[in-house]
Structure 1
Amino acid sequence: MATESRHVTEHIDRPARVVYEYASDPANLAHWAPGLGSSVRLEDGRWLVDVPGGGGQAEVVFVPRNDFGVLDHEVLLPGGEIVYVPFRVLADGDRAEVVFTVRRAAGMTDDEFDRDAAAVAADLATLKRILES
């Protein structure tokens, strides 16, 4: 069964390498992606975030650093579910385009899917604001 996906993008007036360096550091997640969680911390070599609403801790695992702008990551939720998140930083001349793929989870309503995409768009707008200031 195919998963429905929606690509959420944002252009950032900074070089792609600068955007990648900032966004690839899990310590920065709480600043630009509060929807994922707060209180990002490194414990025993693992990046942990507190899940919103007191849902426990999730672990975020990024792909190894690379020269291609790939920031794909997995979020290991407290219940054991693993959510794979495709995320890219692309060069667009002297600026960057970030592309985040939102995937519809099983049983997710249209409204929930729209809210997920809107939350990602807000996070990417925050990333833009931080990096352009």
Structure 2
Amino acid sequence: MRLILNVIWLVFGGLWLALGYLLAALICFVLIITIPFGFASLRIASYALWPFGRTVIDKPGTRPGALIGNVIWVLLFGIWLAIGHVVTAVAMAVTIIGIPLALANLKMIPVSLVPLGKEIVPVDSINQPLRAAA
């Protein structure tokens, strides 16, 4: 099921969202001082290409630099990428088949706003420790 949803996602919006993140990464790499933002944008671009079966978690430990970086990110790129997710989610939610895709778009808004200090992991790796404990 994840494969089917990912293919539909890729065709109907995932490619365009990933290109938006790649453009943000390119701008970050050109501006040199924002290179850490470029790497975060590349991570999110891969997530935007193939979101089903993966999730976002917080990296362990406190990161004071991530807070400052996230504020700068929101002002430069985050708000525009989040708006892109909302617009795409509304367009996808028009059909019944598009509702899971719209929900995936809405799931990406928090990481598009504050990407630093986050990690994208497979859903199975989160559920694995829970299964071992049971």
TM-score between both structures, scaled by the size of structure 2: 0.31
Structure with more helix by fraction: 2
Larger Rg: 2
Higher RCO (CA-CA < 8 Å; seq separation 6+): 1
Structure with more strand by fraction: 1
TM-score between both structures, scaled by the size of structure 1: 0.31
